[in-house]
Amino acid sequence: MKKEERMASEILNDIGGKENIQRVAHCMTRLRLSLKDDSKVNLDGLKQVDGVMGVVDDETLQVVIGPGTVNKVAAEMSKITGLGIGEEASLDDEDLTFEEKAALDKDRIKSKNRTPFKNFLRKLGNIFIPLIPGLVASGIINGVANFAVNAGVDREQTWMQILLLFGSVVFASLGILVGWNTAKEFGGTPVLGAIAGMILFSPLLADITIYGEPLIPGRGGLFGVIFAAWLMTFVEKNVRKVMPDAVDIIFTPLITLLVVGFTSLYAIMPVAGVLSDGITIGLTSLIDTGGAIAGAVLAGFFLPLVMVGLHHGLTPIHLELINVYGETALLTILAMGGAGQVGAAIAIYVKTKNKRLRNIIKGSTPVGFLGIGEPLMYGVTLPLGRPFLTACLGASVGGAFQAVMSTASSGIGVSGLSLIPLITNGQYFTYFLGLVISYTFGFIFTYTFGFKESMADGI
């Protein structure tokens, strides 16, 4: 039996069997399961499954498996249950047991307690998470190609032009992709959301004058695209309510496009432009004037954001900084969060005699160096408690260094050592030195007062 088949089977045993699964999904590192009855879950047994790095009991049950394996386990789970990935099982109240109805009521109560701000950030995450693989691939290609140009390679050579094309094309079309995903996330027609992105980034805008000023393509950035695409969905749904079925396919998208198109040019672009300027200028000013203190605070509080899955809400901010300045200084600071955690994990590995804990660290640390920190977080530092805090402290020291040295990245989607090719202004070694500082202080803080062997009992 292959590893992923065994893991899928053992996970199913600890969550109440395949009949208890409502929905199967996954992200880059976590298997996400919506269950009919949460009380059937054996959390302790689930944590002991070989290959499982941690468990998060949130709105959905999240089993931390790690990149490269999680998609295979999800596929096996889909095969066993008969559910497509992302497909929901039908619910018939008459077929529900008392326990299942109670679990459903509990989920409804949970949904009432979700704050609008958390829901907003989760929506942002759902818009950008599907784009991350493309951003990672293109970002790395772009970083390597520009590194080669800086080293003296002629950018007019055909192979170099091709690499620069591969590295830049996703960023040139990002407004379209974000518009598509936004409309899809809010239940609208994706192509109308994509058109919203096309409108706001079209070069033809420069030939149009409104309020006495020529329009600027991309003004308002992705914030404008997200709002325009959401408005497309809102208008489309309301027009469809009154539109006869016979002419719906013709007039609903036509009216939607005209209404939102004019609104985008006359209202969304100016307002989103002010919002975008405020965020980008505010952040850069904070980093420039706050210096080491600002860097320490930003880096130190990043891991808690990752813990609750809200860090993806920062993606449009990074992309807007790149759109305006050609780089994001925020990313290099926040990347120290993962580095501090790596240092903490190494300190625990050195001190502990717990075989299972050492195996989790051995399996999770390599991807931690590459900037994927969830396996270490949910499998090591967070369950132990204090090492999570010392990892944040180690990150703060590295974040302060990066802020003082003004390092920045030309792309997003990667972190840790993987981010080195994307560092701007030739500051590759400076950024790497910041990583080493975070590794070191994460190790020192954790080794000296962040971990004792009794914490590993029962992990």
How do residues 315-324 score in pLDDT, each as one tens digit? 888 888 888 8
Give the C-alpha separation, 299 to 393, whole Å.
9
Confidence at residue 457, expressed as pLDDT on a 0 to 100 scale: 75
Could you tell me which of 16, 23, 73 has the C-alpha nearest to residue 42? 16
Which residues on adjacent β-strands are paired with residue 62? 32, 56
| Residue 238 CB partners (closer than 8 Å, separation 6+) | none
**pLDDT class for 454, splitting at 50, 70, 90?**
confident
Q: Is the separation of the CB atoms in 359 and 456 below 8 Å?
A: no
What is the reported pTM? 0.65
Average pLDDT score over residue span 296-302: 94
**pLDDT class for 326, splitting at 50, 70, 90?**
confident
Residue carrying structure tokens 């590893």: 3
For the cut 50, the answer to whether the pLDDT of residue 435 exceeds it is: yes
Give the C-alpha separation, 72 to 68, whole Å.
7
| Residue 38 CB partners (closer than 8 Å, separation 6+) | 57, 61, 103, 106, 107
Could you tell me which of 161, 190, 187 has the C-alpha nearest to residue 176? 190
How do residues 184-210 score in pLDDT, each as one tens digit? 989 899 999 999 999 999 999 999 999
How do residues 374-394 score in pLDDT, each as one tens digit? 778 878 888 888 999 999 999
**pLDDT class for 47, splitting at 50, 70, 90?**
confident
**pLDDT class for 88, splitting at 50, 70, 90?**
very low
Q: Is the separation of the CB atoms in 4 and 69 below 8 Å?
A: yes
* Mean pLDDT (the chain, rounded): 85
From start to end of 184-301, where are the E strands?
209-210, 213-214
Of the residues 27, 35, 73, 200, only one is catalytic, namely 27
Q: Is the separation of the CB atoms in 425 and 325 below 8 Å?
A: no
* Tokens encoding 411: 């792309």
How would you class 143 by CB atoms within 10 Å of its CB: exposed for 0-12, middle for 13-18, buried for 19 or more? buried
392 classed as catalytic: no
Pick the more confident residue, 294 or 304. 294
Which residues on adjacent β-strands are paired with residue 64? 30, 54
* Pairing outcome for strands 30-35 and 21-26: antiparallel
